[in-house]
Structure 1
Amino acid sequence: MSASRTVTVGSSNGLHARPAKIFVEAAQNAGVPVTIAKGEKTVNAASILGVMSLGVEHGDDVVLTVDGDNAEQTLDALAELLTTDHDEAN
């Protein structure tokens, strides 16, 4: 089963090192293939270099695609990570 979803990035500084690391670790732990796309470029969501190479900024729309069992649940979890502002001061 494959599922895709468009998500707007919430981190105020986009997918730079810290938010990208959080997202990539979740994609790695999903146990199924996950891709993230911005515009025409699609990369493996489990690759920190791939994700950082997209240059995703705050407010950008990205498309997540998950192949495998529980694709919708995996999309829910990953989308929540992307829409959260991980740059907020604690």
Structure 2
Amino acid sequence: MTVGVAGVAANSGDTHALPSGFTVFGHTYHGSTGLLFAYGILIGAVGAAGLILLLAGTWTTSRRGVVARRELRHSRREMAAARKELAKPLPTA
């Protein structure tokens, strides 16, 4: 963060003015290279936050699947044990 602030501060002023504005989605922006650098930092931070949210959602879904498969295996083992118990012949008195 400190490097970003230093980069924006060092590249602002009249000596670092963009010769012509830059256009993003049909909007023209004028300013310095420091302002352009700040916009890049902001867009990068928003992109990183979006990627983190996407990966967190994927991880959560994956963990749910792992837990469901584990419970299914456990349930199948219990059912097999119950069937084995029911298949035993009854003791005669």
Normalised by the length of structure 2, the TM-score is 0.26
Look at both structures and tell me which one has the larger radius of gyration over its CA atoms. 2
- Decide which structure has greater strand share: 1
Structure with a larger share of its residues in helix: 2
**Structure 1 length as normaliser, TM-score?**
0.26
